[in-house]
Structure 1
Amino acid sequence: MKLLALIALVFCALSAKPLETESAKILATFPFPGRSQYIFMETYLKALAAKGHQVTVINAFKNTATPNMRFIEAVKVHEFSDEMMGLLNEPFLWGQLNAMDFVLAKITEITMEDDGVKKLINSGETFDLVLAEMIQMEPLYAFAQHFNATLAGFSSFGTDNRIDAAVGNISPMSYNPLVTSPRTNRMTFTERLSNAYENLVEEFHRHWVHLPTMEKMFKKHFPNSKKTMAEVMDSFSFVLLGQHFSLSHPRPYLPNMIEVGGLHISHKPKPLPEDIKQFIEGSPEGVIYFSMGSNVKSKDLPQETRDTLLKTFAKLKQRVLWKFEDDEMQGKPANVLIKKWYPQPDILAHPNVKMFITHGGLLSSTESVYFGKPVLGLPCFYDQHMNVQRAQRMGFGLGLDLNNLKQEELEKAIKTLLTDPSYTKASASISELYRDQPEPALDRAIWWTEYVLRHKGAPHLRATSRDLTFIQLHSLDTLAVLFGVPLLVSLVLLKLTCKLLRGKSQKCPHADKLKKH
């Protein structure tokens, strides 16, 4: 009998077929001019197209023709990108929020006014899935209801309290720092107090300034929308998050919040261009890679800051690869190679690259950890301060103030990272933790995307928390009854007791207080 049962199990296993997903039409929106957000998802979108899905991409770049992919290139946003980045240097929180709000509104409006985008909106097409970048450009989420599609989100920097709220996840302020802050999950009382205050300010600004601005744009571009903007914001089926607990910290996630940090990293690095390869391999003391990412341009750094970097690099035995956006650099030392764009993951994968000087963006932080490289962080804005602070706490990096960069401090930090083996060891250890996953992040992202397509938006993943009011969600009504009723009964009993005592000509010590009640 046992043999027959075993044969039956084997037969069932062999005959079972994996669930197949029909070819779907997918629309993905990447309005931000910084290319890093698109790099995070590009490999994923190409993988979807390779599986037969028809993928339409709205982005702000010129693209290479790819089978099963169509591009709508809303490139006009680049005309304003330098102006926008200049606004993000506000010293105070409220000013920062206003500046960010202006930038988001500008990008949203430029995207919606693009001829290709308007043509798509009026095309009468339908899609099965709309992937929207969750960076507070709410009118763009409305593509889903306009095209009668399931709405999904992605976030290259991971999650924050707004993304948590969109899917009904809990986000305790006690150990989840504001994404724009330099704090980590291990906060002192003072840091928790600052975190609570800044969260409240952000929420106030969001509901009284940001959302009203976006709602006007929503009504302008989708006047016949079947859903309100609030209803659209409440319709996310799942979210892809560009983080992993080994790179950040353990915290609660709902089943439809999928950690896919590093999905853009190829497990087999591509061969480097010959000139870069020779420059790296021809340096006996190793190489330092320096990039400020796609949003901050090295060519626009203050001259004093650039001089500090150049003087420091000139004194190094190591060679330096510097991502620099001009063809020429005045005063460039012989040991520095400049290019407008580098194949960053392939460079970091090279064993002769010893460290990474970075702005601290999450994609760069993920790549540095994946390839086990210590980092020197020069953060500028948004999540970069938090990522650099985390690198310091976890022991695989150091951080300096880019706005007040001193040559002596820069030289010391570089020397420490190159000579102290603890930083390389910590980076290698975290790399091992990150790589120890049941499947590649890209495979996980594809599986969950097709899962939601197979199950028509997967409404069974919707958390009940999304349908509760603030009072219900936090049990304030039930707690009021549990604590209020006994208190009320106690007061009544106390009053009756005092009346009884007065009837016996005994002074009640609480009589005066009760009269007031």
Structure 2
Amino acid sequence: MRWIFLLVCLQPRYLRGARILALFPIPSPSHYFFALPYLKSLASEGHEIISVNPYPLKEPIKNIYDIPVPEVFENFNEILEFVKTPKTTWQSSDFINEYTLNLTKSVLNNEGVRRELLSPKSPRFDLIIMDLWRIDALCGLAAFLEVPIIGMAPYGTDWKIDELVGNISPISYLQSPSSHFHNLETYGGRLSHFVERSITWINYKWRHVEKQKALYKKYLPNIANKHTLAETSRNFALVLVNQHFTLAPPRPYVPNMIEVGGMHVDPDPKPLPKELEAFIQGAGDAGVIYFSLGTNVKSKSLSEDRRKLMLNTFSHLPQRVLWKFENGQLPGKPPNVFISKWFPQQDILAHPQVRLFITHGGLLSTIESIHHGKPMLGLPCFFDQFRNMEHVQRMGLGLILNLKEMAAEDFNSTIVRLLTEKSFEVMAKITGARYRDKPMKPLETAIWWTHYVLRHNGAAHMRVAGRELDFFIYHSLDVLATFFLAFFVTLTIFAFCMIKALRKCYQFKNETNILKKKFV
């Protein structure tokens, strides 16, 4: 019995329930709602989750405890206003970097965070799981609490996330999340993509890295004296990426970067409310169109011109339309349109009567649509939505329109085309089948690798050396400079010898001519 008792005591803590700190302070709902099923699953296995987020649970869940950070909503509307007008790449980068800096500051100033996490009496943790949206200073909590850290990328990876783990991110064929889509199959597209990526990189490295460092030193001074921010932010045990090779162009990953695209998708759709089910069934063979612009872009905020264009188009369609509209009333709404402030989106997309999804193109919505094999009409508004919808169009899963500039005829003809051309439906079902064909469900994959990190004390053996290298060494610029210098020196010596030889030849020729004249 004594040996059994000792064996139990020596088991890794996670087997008896680990204490996990979850940092998801981003005000965009999609970031936290992507992670929530994962956190709930960990909690159901006995782990204790302390969650820093702006969306505290409406109903308590065993083993999940919220630290609300409502302050992050204070300036969130500034982002939505900012993207309404075209901006340069430098202006966009500057704005986002400054916004996330202030967001990070508001989290570190939060009373609950300071009391529960930054005080000397803070509880012991075994792991940190955090969002990876440029909240660099919060990475210092891993060093402060002396625990491994897992990052989550709800919108897929980008150069900044790749850099954290030393992942290769070839600019020649991988599109960056951006409000601009570059055709990388052309020289002009690669050139403009290179320029945009360079501007965003320079903006962050030259203007905002020092501000993040200052924040880190201010709130975690003792740790900052031992470890630099670069060291703490490049010490991720794992990065869970909301991506899959059927959802975007296939790309390489280092060992501790794991695809869990669609982790939030519920594999078991629930029955719809009776009123909603009756409306859908009443559509008959014509079917139903589901329309949602997500949580950040509000349909109620659309201009009167855009609303009238859509209502007029919908009124002439034989299909019925479900429209996520945030107001209780929609003047001029035709009888074939059903509005609601909220819809069970995944359950709707799973319904066989739903034939088309009109979407803003957010990654979570895109994945849900692909999972259920539904064609899409993309109306992207900002950031990664353009990249997501361009891939959807290239794969033959749907089409794209400009929400601000599309004419009524374009909107109507595109919807009709998507509903009548069978190729879109066929390709959507094929891609959905490819996406669902996996050895493990994404959520199971995330849980397994989380336990792997806990079992192996942070799994440092998975991390590549490239994450510790600076830009010049990582890209072998110092080596290339050596070859360039050697080539330059060799060329200089060769040129010097050639000039010296030519001078001697010229001198010899002159001396020969003088001798000839003398003897003549």
Whether TM exceeds 0.5 here: the answer is yes
CA separation of 1:409 and 1:146: change in aligned 2, threshold 3 A: same
Residue 46 in 1 paired to residue 44 in 2? no
Judge conservation of contact 2:358–2:376 (CA < 8 Å) in 1: yes
1:32: how far off?
1.6
CA distance in 2, matches of 1:179, 1:340: 29
Judge conservation of contact 1:176–1:185 (CA < 8 Å) in 2: no
1:382: how far off?
0.5
1:496: how far off?
5.1
Judge conservation of contact 2:182–2:190 (CA < 8 Å) in 1: no
Judge conservation of contact 1:395–1:422 (CA < 8 Å) in 2: yes
Post-superposition Cα deviations, 1:125-168, rounded to whole Å, max 9, x if no partner, equal 22111111111111222222222221211011111011111111
Match of 1:143 among 137, 141, 144: 141
Give 2:231's aligned residue: 231
CA separation of 1:302 and 1:507: change in aligned 2, threshold 3 A: farther
Letter of the 2:386 counterpart: H
Give 1:329's aligned residue: 330
Give 1:342's aligned residue: 343
Secondary structure of 1:404's partner? coil
Give 1:187's aligned residue: 185
1:431: how far off?
0.9
Secondary structure of 1:338's partner? strand
Give 2:426's aligned residue: 425
CA separation of 1:112 and 1:274: change in aligned 2, threshold 3 A: farther
Match of 2:95 among 96, 99, 123: 99
Give 1:131's aligned residue: 129
Give 1:267's aligned residue: 267
Judge conservation of contact 1:90–1:99 (CA < 8 Å) in 2: no
1:191: how far off?
0.9
1:489: how far off?
4.7
CA distance in 1, matches of 2:73, 2:179: 27
CA distance in 2, matches of 1:162, 1:244: 19
Give 2:77's aligned residue: 82
Q: Name whichever of 62-71 and 89-98 sits farther off.
A: 89-98
CA separation of 1:218 and 1:21: change in aligned 2, threshold 3 A: closer
CA distance in 1, matches of 2:433, 2:243: 15
CA distance in 2, matches of 1:300, 1:222: 41
CA distance in 1, matches of 2:509, 2:213: 64
Judge conservation of contact 1:90–1:96 (CA < 8 Å) in 2: no
Judge conservation of contact 2:97–2:204 (CA < 8 Å) in 1: no
Judge conservation of contact 1:312–1:407 (CA < 8 Å) in 2: yes
Identity %: 42
CA separation of 1:40 and 1:470: change in aligned 2, threshold 3 A: same
CA distance in 1, matches of 2:486, 2:104: 51
Judge conservation of contact 1:88–1:100 (CA < 8 Å) in 2: no
1:89-488 → structure 2 map (5 Å cutoff): 89-92=84-87, 93-121=89-117, 122=119, 123-183=121-181, 186-226=184-224, 227-284=227-284, 285-482=286-483, 484-485=485-486, 488=489
1:21-32 → structure 2 map (5 Å cutoff): 21-22=14-15, 23-32=17-26
Give 2:6's aligned residue: none
Post-superposition Cα deviations, 1:214-252, rounded to whole Å, max 9, x if no partner, equal 333323332333433222211111100001011101111
Letter of the 2:235 counterpart: S
Question: Rg: which structure is higher?
Answer: 2
CA separation of 1:496 and 1:204: change in aligned 2, threshold 3 A: closer
1:507: how far off?
6.4
Secondary structure of 2:295's partner? coil
Give 2:9's aligned residue: none
Secondary structure of 2:197's partner? helix
1:495: how far off?
4.7
Q: Name whichever of 151-160 and 464-473 sits farther off.
A: 464-473
Give 1:512's aligned residue: none
CA distance in 2, matches of 1:297, 1:224: 44
How many residue pairs were aligned?
491
1:253: how far off?
0.5
1:73: how far off?
1.8
CA distance in 2, matches of 1:172, 1:481: 24
Secondary structure of 2:450's partner? helix
CA separation of 1:216 and 1:479: change in aligned 2, threshold 3 A: closer
Give 1:55's aligned residue: 49
CA distance in 1, matches of 2:14, 2:491: 63
CA separation of 1:423 and 1:196: change in aligned 2, threshold 3 A: same
Post-superposition Cα deviations, 1:46-85, rounded to whole Å, max 9, x if no partner, equal 1111111111111111312111111112224334333432
Letter of the 2:106 counterpart: I
Secondary structure of 2:177's partner? coil
CA separation of 1:229 and 1:384: change in aligned 2, threshold 3 A: same
TM-score normalised by L of structure 2: 0.89
CA separation of 1:386 and 1:116: change in aligned 2, threshold 3 A: same
Secondary structure of 1:96's partner? helix
1:98: how far off?
2.7
Letter of the 2:73 counterpart: H
1:494: how far off?
6.5
Letter of the 1:66 counterpart: I
Post-superposition Cα deviations, 1:442-479, rounded to whole Å, max 9, x if no partner, equal 11111111111111111111211123333332223333
CA distance in 2, matches of 1:215, 1:494: 49
1:371: how far off?
0.5
Q: Name whichever of 309-318 and 461-470 sits farther off.
A: 461-470
CA distance in 2, matches of 1:113, 1:330: 44
CA separation of 1:299 and 1:263: change in aligned 2, threshold 3 A: same
CA distance in 2, matches of 1:425, 1:184: 27
CA separation of 1:110 and 1:468: change in aligned 2, threshold 3 A: closer
Letter of the 2:144 counterpart: H
